[in-house]
Amino acid sequence: MSGDEPTEPGMQLPEDALGQPGQGRDTILPRARPVHETVVPALEAMLFASGDPVKTSALAEVLEVEEAVVELALGVLEDRLEARGSGLQLARVAKGVQLRTHPRHAELVLGIVGGRPTRLSRAALEVLSIVAYQQPVTRGDVEDIRGVACGAVMKHLLERGVLRVVGRREVPGRPLEYGTSDAFLELFGLDTLKDLPTLAERAALEEDLDGGA
């Protein structure tokens, strides 16, 4: 790489990370140019066009680079979006990466595209909370905890794609077991289930919700 080429701190990569001539990679990442000059705008374009969360492994496959290169470039993209006050932000959700409207522009976006923010009933949130923290669970498990029938609520959440059937419990009758989906993670802006609030955080949130009712 020529010393005259523009560089950016943190973007220096091993020579072999740019691919070898004859492997098809040099058409995407020319060896004579810094990696960020092509990877960062390419990632931005792909994420913008996708709309949905995309796994870094899929991005690396399309770009024909190592996943570590994608991770490095995503960090640069995130910094650039923030530095220029972009209306978009990079989010790690549903075990992937997604370009999302910045929260400060949410109302304006809704005003131009129509629709309204996704809202769930208190019953739906309670069911989702039980499933998220206890999964896999049966409908009977959820109803035992809530003390009321949950069939209609669970059917609605299944239709919305935030719940999914994960198997059957090996007990008499073999009832279906349920878990949350990637759509659940996307809806709540979570990367994995490990990002769920702790029990203490949940208690504080419930207090806030009750106080705002």
Two structure tokens written together for 7: 């560089």
Tens of pLDDT, residues 32-75: 445 567 899 999 999 999 888 999 999 999 998 999 999 999 99
| 73 close to 43: Cβ distance less than 8 angstroms | yes
Contact in structure between 43 and 76 (CB atoms under 8 Å): no
This prediction's pTM: 0.58
pLDDT range class, residue 203, cuts 50, 70, 90: low
* Structural domains in the chain, sorted by start: 15-112 (1.10.10.10), 122-212 (1.10.10.10)
pLDDT in tens, 133-164: 999 999 999 999 999 999 999 999 999 999 99
Examine the pLDDT at 166 and tell me if it is beyond 90: yes
3 state DSSP class of 90 = strand
167 sits in which H/E element: strand 163-168
Q: Which tens digits make up the pLDDT trace of 90-107?
A: 999 888 999 988 878 877
CA angle centred on 159, ends 102 and 146, rounded to 5°: 95
Q: Which two tokens stand for residue 159?
A: 């239709």
Q: Which helix (H) or strand (E) holds 98?
A: strand 96-101
